[in-house]
Amino acid sequence: MGSWIQGPAEKYGGSFISNKPQQSDDARELAPAAGPAGKQSPFSPSHPLFWFGVVAAASVGLMAYSTSVRVGPASASVSLGK
């Protein structure tokens, strides 16, 4: 059979083959713009509150282990013994 005998899809392409939306070359090259980070888990390192939480947890943890804590003029301590 001659190679010139084709179906419309092989000959014209276009609407005979697909309904894929034509993608813009410009749109592919666009980088995400700076702006609100959007919904992120607070456990993600990129979330702003993550590092506050780390510092806060470390502070509370250290307070728990020390026998005396002083904040300004006030202090509290625990002691065992006779």
61 contributes a contact to another protein by CB under 8 A: no
15 contributes a contact to another protein by CB under 8 A: yes
14 contributes a contact to another protein by CB under 8 A: yes
Single out the segment in contact with another protein by CB under 8 A; choices: 4-12, 49-57, 62-70, 71-79. Answer: 4-12
4 contributes a contact to another protein by CB under 8 A: yes
Dihedral through CA 67, CA 71, CA 73, CA 78, nearest 10?
-20
User: Residue 58's closest CA among 67, 70, 66, 48?
Assistant: 66
User: Residue 38's closest CA among 48, 27, 26?
Assistant: 48
Q: Which of 13, 52, 58, 70 binds another protein (CB under 8 A)?
A: 13
Phi, psi of 70, deg, nearest 5: -125, 130
67 contributes a contact to another protein by CB under 8 A: no
At residue 28, the 3 state secondary structure works out as helix
8 contributes a contact to another protein by CB under 8 A: yes
